[in-house]
Amino acid sequence: MQFPDLNQLSLAQQVAQMVVVRASSHLFDRQIQYPEFGERDRATLKHQIADLGVGGVIFWGGNAGELTLRIQQLQAWATYPLLIAADIEEGVGQRFTGGTWFAPPMALNAIAQTDLPKAIEYARQMGAITATEALAVGINWILAPVVDVNNNPANPVINIRAFGETPEIVSQLATAYIHGAADYPVLTCAKHFPGHGDTGVDSHWALPIITHDRARLDSIELPPFRAAIAAGVDSVMSAHLLIPALDPEFPATLSPRILTEELRHNLGFEGLISTDALVMGAITDRYGADDAPVMAVSAGSDIILMPVDPEIAIQAVCHAVESGLISAERIKDSVGRIWRAKQKLFKEWDGVTLTQSPVNSQPAPLTTLAQPKSIAIADRILQDSLITQGTLPLQPRPGKNIIVIEEILDTTFLSRSTPAITIPNQLGYQLRLINRHSPTISIEPDELVILQLFIRTSPFSGGLGITSVAKQLFQQLLANHQLQGLVIYGSPYLMAIAADLPPEIPCVFCYGQMAAAQSIALEQLFGVQS
């Protein structure tokens, strides 16, 4: 298809194409969960799409079936087909119930330490399956892979979202992921430029500062981005970081030196440059709803992702063009890149119906989701990245099954029917569920305990580490000789506590937290089949 000549669009229509807004994946206003992060009611969202003409929408959470209907609704409102984005770094099932949910990317790093070709093939399959399932629900912009090199174990925001701790491994696995997705009409995204892996601050809350010199950036942070660009990645997302060696004044997202000079000119990237979400604290704490979008476009961004107020963002950028701060050609360059990206995605469009291109003339059916082969691959990644120590299997001696999670209210991986609860229950263990807010608990002197810790980093979590509640409980059980076995789900850096375990106490670590991960870990612990 051919999109209209840019000269047929008003300035406001052109700028609107650069804006991607947040939307609830649910169909009804009463289901909105994250209004503070831009999810708006139906009337406002329809105004943003149909009247303002925003270029895309980003989703987070829900179920695959409802999401599919929601995307169809939104596309029907749009004058031009929408970019539909999602942070599905671990597959569609990570965010949308019903899809395949893979282990975090760092699980592949663990596999790569002993079998690099296997890890590379897993990464390729992960990219291909994620692309296939994304198309089935209507997602066409996969905000992955993460190509940050996580060389800071205390990193509160990247951590296990990275493919590894060295630029060589990250480059090879990210490249394989991109190649796996490349056979499908979706866009991929390398993030977070120029590298968010060595931070101790979560940019969702505050602005991290990277103090490394240019030589260090060239040798560690930038190689995976070079590899991703060489592999044909469609877009690059900027990081909300201050890096004095590259720009002592502005965060990368707002820096012409970093986005235009470094990424466009020095690295030769010709695809879409997107900001990270502009609602994040690293930006909103310092720059206004009108300033940040203008500065991002001036810096070189094509996509203004999740501005605080989309309408204000469009007006502010238009005013910057009209006042001569930003050239009209600069806007046309960005919209031209957006047009080319959308032409890759859509074969036909007549303002009412649209079909994906070029592989299939119709969207894949939802039966494409969670195919047995896809689930088997996801399970093998979990199994092959498992870490164990101590005497296995454990001979069950009924006692307490204490599960520690970070937040009870927002848990998507734990229910009455998930294996972390049902398997110990079948073996005679009584459940005790606690979180970081739980008071100190008492355990009878003659009780034995299986301790399961669900601790991983995630955006807006504010940090990483074993909570004081979990640490105190672990030490108490160890000192009183009441700990039968330990299972950790999430971050491998939490395995440091296992160094204190006597050799006879079994410990199992699994990168995933979902039901499949629980089954695999507990089957290993008890030597049973669930």
DSSP, res 209: B
Instruction: Considering only CA atoms, give the Rg of the chain.
Output: 24
Give the span between the Cα atoms of 211 and 200, in whole angstroms: 12
SS3 state of residue 412: coil
* Given 276, 302, 379, 410, the catalytic residue: 276
* 125 vs 437 pLDDT, higher one: 125
Half-sphere exposure of 304 (CA within 13 A, CB side): 33
- Render pLDDT for 61-88 as a digit per residue (tens, 0 to 9): 899 999 999 999 999 999 999 999 999 9
Is 276 a residue of the active site? yes
Q: What is the pLDDT of residue 362?
A: 45
Q: What is the pLDDT of residue 5?
A: 84
* Maximum Cα interatomic distance, the chain, rounded to a whole number of Å: 79
pLDDT mean over 294-314? 98
In terms of Cβ atoms closer than 10 Å to its own Cβ (0-12, 13-18, 19+), residue 270 is exposed
Q: How would DSSP label each residue in 96-154?
A: SBTS--PPPTHHHHHHHTT-HHHHHHHHHHHHHHHHHHHHHHT--EE---B------TT
Helix (H, G, I), strand (E, B) or coil at 269: coil
Query: Is beta strand 507-510 parallel, antiparallel or unpaired with respect to 387-389?
Result: antiparallel
How many Å apart are CA 433 and CA 453, to the nearest integer? Answer: 10
Comparing C-alpha atoms, which of 34, 463, 490 is closest to residue 208?
463
Residue for token digits 């149909």? 50
Kindly report the number of other CB atoms within 10 A of residue 121's CB atom: 16
| Residue corresponding to tokens 């079994």 | 506
**% of the chain surpassing 70 pLDDT:** 93
Per-residue pLDDT at 187 exceeds 50:
yes
To which H or E segment does residue 518 belong? helix 515-526
For residues 197 and 166, give the distance between their C-alpha atoms in angstroms, rounded to a whole number: 10
Q: What is the pLDDT of residue 313?
A: 98
The H or E element containing residue 282 is helix 281-284
Query: What average pLDDT does the chain have?
Result: 91
- Cis peptide upstream of residue 358 (ω within 30 degrees of 0): yes
Query: Is 360 strand, coil or helix?
Result: coil
Chain segment 252-295, per-residue pLDDT in tens: 999 999 999 999 999 999 999 999 999 998 898 899 889 999 99
CA distance 168 to 116: 11
Residue 437: pLDDT band (50, 70, 90) is confident
The pLDDT assigned to 366 comes to 86
Burial (CB < 10 A; 0-12, 13-18, 19+), residue 225, is buried
The number of residues making up the chain comes to: 530
Cα 148 to Cα 159: distance, rounded to the nearest angstrom? 9
> Average pLDDT in the 324-334 region?
97
pLDDT, residue 465, reads 52
Per the CB < 8 A criterion, the answer to whether 525 and 508 are in contact is yes
Q: How far apart are the first and last CA of the chain?
A: 51
Do 193 and 236 touch, CB atoms closer than 8 A? Answer: yes
- For residue 508, which phi and psi values (nearest 5 degrees)? -125, 130
User: Please, which pLDDT band fits residue 251 given cuts at 50, 70 and 90?
Assistant: very high
Sheet with 387-389: strands ordered across: 387-389, 507-510, 483-490, 449-455, 400-405, 430-435
Residue partners of 458: CB distance under 8 A and separation at least 6: none
CA 215: distance to chain centroid?
29
Predicted confidence band of residue 530 (pLDDT cuts 50, 70, 90): low
- The H or E element containing residue 435 is strand 430-435
- Does residue 33 have a pLDDT over 90? no
Inter-residue contact 121 to 129 (CB < 8 Å)? no
User: What pLDDT is recorded for position 156?
Assistant: 79
Render 156-213 in DSSP notation, one character per residue: SSSGGGSS-SSHHHHHHHHHHHHHHHTTSS-B-EEEEET--TT-SS-TTTS--B----
d(CA 149, CA 118): 20
pLDDT at 363: 55
| Cα pseudo-dihedral 85, 91, 94, 95, rounded to 10 | 20
Please check whether residue 181 is in contact with residue 140, taking contact to mean a CB–CB distance below 8 angstroms: no
Please give the domain boundaries of the chain with CATH numbers for all domains. Answer: 13-367 (3.20.20.300), 386-526 (3.40.50.10870)
Name which residue leads in pLDDT, 213 or 6: 213
* 470: its two tokens: 């979990």
- Helices marked H in 304-384: 310-322, 328-345, 372-384
According to DSSP, the β-strands at 449-455 and 430-435 are unpaired
The answer, yes or no, to whether residue 496 has pLDDT greater than 70, is: yes
What token pair was written down for 300?
Answer: 């070189």
Categorize the per-residue pLDDT at 441 as very low, low, confident or very high, splitting at 50, 70 and 90: confident
Q: Categorize the per-residue pLDDT at 350 as very low, low, confident or very high, splitting at 50, 70 and 90.
A: very low
Residue predicted with more confidence, 417 or 358: 417
Its pTM stands at: 0.93
As a whole number, mean pLDDT of residues 218-238 equals 98
Whether the predicted pLDDT of 505 surpasses 50: yes
The larger pLDDT score, comparing residue 154 to residue 323, is at 323
Say if CB 90 and CB 103 are below 8 A apart: yes
